[in-house]
Amino acid sequence: MSKQKIYDRIARLYDILDLPFEQGRYKPIRREMFTGLKGDLLDAGVGTGRNFSHYPDSSTVTGIDLSPAMLGRARKRQDKLGAAIDLHEMNVMEMDFADDSFDGVVSTFLCCVLEPEDQTPALKELRRVCRPDGEVHILEYDLSENPWQRFVMKLWAPWVKFAYGAAFDRNTEQYLEAAGLELVEKRFLYKDIIKLLIAKPK
Ligand SMILES: C[S@@+](CC[C@H](N)C(=O)[O-])C[C@H]1O[C@@H](n2cnc3c(N)ncnc32)[C@H](O)[C@@H]1O
């Protein structure tokens, strides 16, 4: 099943299913994800708009997503918050934006969803639309080194693949160089399972 179909299918349940994780894990780290970013920002794989209340003040944000149903949820959230975010249905691997359009590019839990063969094309696009002095911030899961936590994550993996088309072990940092990006920081923000990658155009 395509990623678009997977997310169109889960869109109406997405926020409810994610609520315990949003409250317990993601909420505190989303703001940190935007530290150091300002100006024109791109939120790639914007989903239902969980990042909306965490964007830095005075930034101008554009969000893209493959799934019309997820974008529908994002538009409802946007109306509720009175936020001004420019939302577009678009594939991260072929975006309609001109080169160097954004000061900062973020993706939260998008790379976990991209198949290994799609990582480099997607990262190349993120790099292309990022200005030479800008930054790309990527938040993604990693498989824990803790045996118990790792075991639990492996139990969850089939559900995560079925429901979200995602995996915990994409290790996106391995594709950065081929995409013309240089890893400048890698930091775990929740245990050793959610990490922030900061990369700059080479
Ligand atoms: C796990 S969700 C994360 C949503 C949101 N960023 C968040 O933090 O809650 C992944 C999102 O990426 C979108 N997505 C998957 N593949 C994509 C692609 N090739 N281009 C654009 N969006 C994509 C999905 O539709 C989904 O909304």
Please give the C-alpha separations between residue 25 and each of 58, 75, 129, 159, in angstroms, as whole numbers. Answer: 26, 24, 29, 19
Q: What percent of the chain has pLDDT over 70?
A: 100
pLDDT score for 79: 96
Q: Which of 66, 90, 96, 126 is the pocket-test mutation for ligand 1 (most atoms within 8 Å of CB)?
A: 66
Over residues 37-57, the pLDDT tens digits come to 999 999 999 999 999 999 999
Give 149-166 pLDDT, tens digit per residue: 999 999 999 999 999 999
What residue numbers bound the domain in which 180 lies?
Answer: 3-201
> Does the structure show a pLDDT above 90 at 169?
yes
Whether 58 has a pLDDT exceeding 90, the answer reads no
State the total domains in the chain.
1
Q: Name all residues whose Cβ lies below 6 A of ligand 1.
A: 3, 7, 45-47, 50, 64-67, 70, 91-93, 108-110, 113, 164, 166
pLDDT at 116: 97
Q: How high does pLDDT run on average in the chain? A: 97
How do residues 117-138 score in pLDDT, each as one tens digit? 999 999 999 999 999 999 999 9
User: Tell me, what's the pLDDT at 73?
Assistant: 98
> What phi and psi, each to the nearest 5 degrees, are found at residue 115?
-65, 155
Query: pTM of the full predicted structure?
Result: 0.97
Closest CA to 173 of 185, 158, 159: 185
Instruction: Determine the atom of ligand 1 nearest the C-alpha atom of 47.
Output: 27
Which residues 6+ apart lie within 8 Å of 197 measured at CB? 136, 137, 138, 139, 140, 172, 173, 176, 183, 185, 186
Q: What SS3 state is found at 134?
A: strand
3-state SS assignment for residue 89? strand
Which among 7, 22, 87 is the best mutation to test ligand 1's pocket, defined by most ligand atoms within 8 Å of the CB?
A: 7
Q: Which H or E run contains 31? A: helix 27-33
Minimum mean pLDDT range among 16-25, 41-50, 100-109, 187-196: 16-25
% residues pLDDT > 90 (the chain): 97
When pLDDT is cut at 50, 70 and 90, the band that residue 106 belongs to is very high
How large is the average pLDDT for residues 21-48? 94
Average pLDDT over residues 18-38: 92
Instruction: Quick: pLDDT tens for 67-80.
Output: 999 999 999 999 99
Radius of gyration of the chain (CA): 16
**So what's the pLDDT on residue 28?**
87
Query: In this predicted structure, what is the pLDDT of residue 148?
Result: 97
pLDDT at position 8 is 98
What CATH number corresponds to the domain at position 150?
3.40.50.150
